[in-house]
Every structure is written in C-alpha cells, then in structure tokens.
Amino acid sequence: MQMKVFSTADVLSQAAAHLISEEIEELLSKQDQVTIVFSTGSSQLKFFDHLILEKVDWAKVRMFHLDEYINLPETHEASFRKYLTEKFIDQVGPLKEVYLVDGNQDPATEIARLSKALKAYPIDIGLIGIGGNAHIAFNDPPANFSTTEAFHVVNLEDRCKLQQVEEGWFAEIGDVPDQAISMTIRQIMQCKLILSIVPYLSKAEAVLKTLETPDPTPEIPATILKTHPNFHLYLDEDSASLLPDELRERYE
C-alpha cells in the first residue's frame, strides 16, 4: 500500500486526477481501451473538477460506478447517476461506454446486466472512496467479504444515512432510501489498481481505524483494501490528523 498525505483536499484531488490521467495514458500505450469504476459522494467532487481538465482520450474509456440508491428518482439531488452525468460524463463525453447503476429497475435484472458487462470488461482502475463508517461503495459494516457476486442489494445503516444528511444530500434521515445496489467487496478487490481519495476531517476516525487495525475485518470494511497489491491511499492533513507518527511513517 502506498499512502500520501497532501496539504489540502484540493491539492490531493489535483494529484489524484493527474495520477489517473497518467495511468490511463500508460494503459492505452499497451491496450486499446481502459475500464474504470468511479466513486461518488462529496469526497470526490474536487477530484472530478480536476479530472475533467486532464488531457485524456475519453473515447477509449469505459466507465462503471460503484453504487446507487434503490428507488430514488434520477432527478433527485442525491442520485449518483445525476451526479456522474452532470459532473463528469457531460463534461468530458463521449466515453467509450457508460454503465450506470439504475436503482429504479428491478434489482435482480439490473445486477445481471452489470455483472455480465463486468465479466467481459475487467476493471483496470478502481476509484474507491471510504465512508465515515469505513464503508467502501455501500458495503456498510459488517460488510460481506465472501459473496462472489459482482453487485448485490445492501441495507444502509444509520451512520451511513446520517453522513448523507450531514453532507446535505437529504433533509432528514427518514428521506434516505433503506437500500442500494452496490458493487461487492470481492469485485472491488479485482480492480488492477485502486486509488482511494479520502479528504476531510469527517474521515479521520475511519482512516485511523482502517490503518491501525492489523487484519481485514468486515466491521471496518476499508481494511480489506490494505491487502490489495496495488493500493494507493490519498489523504489530506485533516483526514490524516488522528494518525500517530508511527502509522504515518509505516505507510508514507
């Protein structure tokens, strides 16, 4: 694992965008297309602002995304399809192919559609955010580490719902859908490279728990990322603020 701590979320996001653009260029020198899975949420906003400025041959990039609420209209401010369409796809398009998770379809049918596509197109780059409860995608603790499905239906826990309210995506906790379609942990771990963009003070405790816990545990889902052979963790001084020197030295 390679950890970097940047002075601010903006500096972090610019460096992350640059790393991804370089990685895409490198991959396209050896293959004719690149497949990426994107995270959403507040933590990724500045990253998209910088990514759309990078010089990338987007017509050769196929995109997936990690998760979507079940039964939330696409016009809702919190819809991840709306987020990705407005903040990324409309800014850089056209991409080679776009696979958005449609939470308004029958979940089993939608999961089958996405799983089939993922089998055909292994993911080169995974942009995997870490939630305030240390979830990855919408795999809240205790996360299912063993399912071999590519996507599954998950129940959202209150801490996860509260984060969405605190970030202003919903007015109150009762407005947050109870379920989502999420990429599974095993599928996430199959990405050839994983970059986690994790800024802000609200993530400091999740970052500490993830780094100080020696073995992967479903209670802290992000711990599994440390076993990935090509895992990059990008923090800012706020999200790294609870880390003791010993942990910073070990991973930096």
Residues engaged in binding ligand GLP (CB under 6 A): 39-43, 66-67, 129-132, 135, 137-138
Give the CA distances from residue 69 to residues 11, 21, 66, 105, in Å, rounded to whole numbers and listed in that order.
30, 29, 11, 11
Smallest separation (angstroms) from ligand GLP to the CB of 42: 5
Region of residue 71 (phi > 0: left; psi between -120 and 50: alpha; otherwise: beta): left
**Nearest residue to ligand GLP, by Cβ distance, number only:** 41
* Cβ proximity to ligand GLP, 14 vs 79, nearer residue: 79
Smallest separation (angstroms) from ligand GLP to the CB of 245: 25
Smallest separation (angstroms) from ligand GLP to the CB of 112: 21
* Cβ proximity to ligand GLP, 34 vs 195, nearer residue: 195
The SS3 call for residue 240 is coil
* Cβ proximity to ligand GLP, 14 vs 42, nearer residue: 42
* Cβ proximity to ligand GLP, 236 vs 245, nearer residue: 236
Task: Tell the residue number behind the tokens 């990855």, with chain if given.
Answer: 136
Range list of H helices, the chain: 9-28, 45-51, 80-84, 90-92, 107-120, 158-166, 185-189, 204-212, 245-251
* Cβ proximity to ligand GLP, 25 vs 177, nearer residue: 177
Smallest separation (angstroms) from ligand GLP to the CB of 28: 25
Beta strands in 30-188 (DSSP E): 34-38, 61-65, 67-69, 97-99, 125-127, 151-155, 179-183
Smallest separation (angstroms) from ligand GLP to the CB of 182: 8
Residue of 144, 172, 176 lying closest to 157 (CA atoms): 176
